[in-house]
């Protein structure tokens, strides 16, 4: 894959935004190989993602920031420029189940993964040998009942120590405190074993069974202080029927969970997701 510079931005909608930004890129030799746009008619807000061949561009990332200021100020643009040469450093959080963890480890070995797994944090010891076999640091931080701020403070400290740029809850079965979610807003991704907003919280397959649903699913979303209510990145479903027990639904659901989480993580590390309020714009 060629090295790319990826520009993502959002601003109040208006005339001339695309023309001004693309002209700026062209004036500095930027060869655009992928362009995505979306205008939110309700909020009058504009979103854009541009992928540029890095070897064609005449500016460094620091120089880009200095030169782009007049355009950003003119249109009120919030923006980020990332370099695909730098792989996002992910810290995975798990409990006892390994299907999402092992799938992410497998995808990590692909040369186009776009991320590095730098550590795994867990509230149980069960997956230590699997993780350490992959030569990745594993840290167990027990989380008991009630208030567990010291445990989550330790998770926050380790996230910083390992240089984390994204925290992936790969079936981490503990609720993060609101202060933790706020500190790492837009950095924590969860896989919930339900097609949200249905069946939030614990035991969603049992909830689905009790309601006699014909479709079960999984939802990859950013984590906020509201349980299972953060901006949704990706979802998918699988059909079930009256003969499926909650345990059978869980077995079927594991495949959907790992696929949906993998898609959501890939969209995130490729800077394809822009958060707007409690929604996302995902440029697939």
- Catalytic positions: 228
Q: Are 7 and 52 in contact (CB under 8 A)?
A: yes
* Paired residues of 274 in beta bridges: 281
Instruction: Provide long-range contacts, Cβ within 8 A and 24+ apart, for 197-204.
Output: 197/228, 197/229, 200/227, 200/228, 200/229, 201/227, 201/228, 203/246
How many beta carbons lie within 10 A of that of residue 208, not counting itself?
25
How many beta carbons lie within 10 A of that of residue 234, not counting itself?
24
The string of DSSP codes covering 125-176 is STTHHHHHHTT--EEE----SS--HHHHHHHHHHHHHTT-SEEEESS--SPP
Backbone angles phi, psi at 28, to 5 degrees: -110, 25
The span from the CA of 93 to the CA of 120, in Å, is 6
DSSP H helices, the chain, are 17-27, 61-75, 99-108, 128-133, 149-161, 178-183, 204-211, 246-269
Of 15, 38, 85, which Cα lies nearest the Cα of 57? Answer: 85
């Amino acid at each position: 894959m060629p090295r790319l510079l990826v520009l993502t931005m959002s601003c109040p909608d208006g005339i001339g935004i695309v023309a001004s930004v693309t002209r700026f890129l062209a004036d500095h030799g930027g060869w655009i190989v992928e362009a995505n746009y979306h205008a939110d008619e309700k909020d009058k807000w504009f979103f854009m993602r541009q992928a540029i061949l890095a070897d064609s561009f005449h500016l460094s990332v620091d120089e880009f920031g200095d030169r782009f200021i007049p355009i950003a100020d003119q249109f009120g643009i919030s923006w980020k420029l990332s370099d695909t040469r730098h792989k996002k450093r992910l810290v995975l959080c798990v409990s006892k189940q390994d299907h999402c963890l092992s799938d992410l480890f497998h995808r990590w070995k692909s040369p186009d993964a776009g991320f590095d797994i730098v550590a795994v944090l867990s509230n149980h010891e069960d997956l230590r040998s699997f993780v350490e076999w992959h030569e990745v640091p594993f840290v167990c931080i027990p989380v008991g009942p009630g208030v567990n701020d010291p445990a989550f403070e330790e998770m926050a400290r380790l996230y910083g120590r390992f240089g984390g740029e994204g925290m992936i809850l790969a079936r981490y079965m503990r609720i993060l405190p609101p202060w933790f979610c706020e500190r790492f807003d837009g950095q924590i991704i969860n896989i919930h074993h339900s097609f949200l907003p249905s069946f939030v919280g614990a035991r969603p397959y049992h909830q689905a069974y009790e309601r006699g649903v014909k479709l079960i699913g999984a939802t990859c979303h950013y984590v906020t202080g509201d349980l299972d209510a953060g901006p949704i990145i990706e979802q998918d479903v699988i059909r079930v029927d009256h003969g499926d027990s909650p345990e059978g639904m869980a077995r079927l659901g594991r495949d959907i969970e790992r696929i949906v989480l993998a898609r959501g993580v890939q969209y995130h590390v490729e800077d394809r997701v822009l958060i707007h309020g409690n929604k996302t714009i995902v440029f697939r």
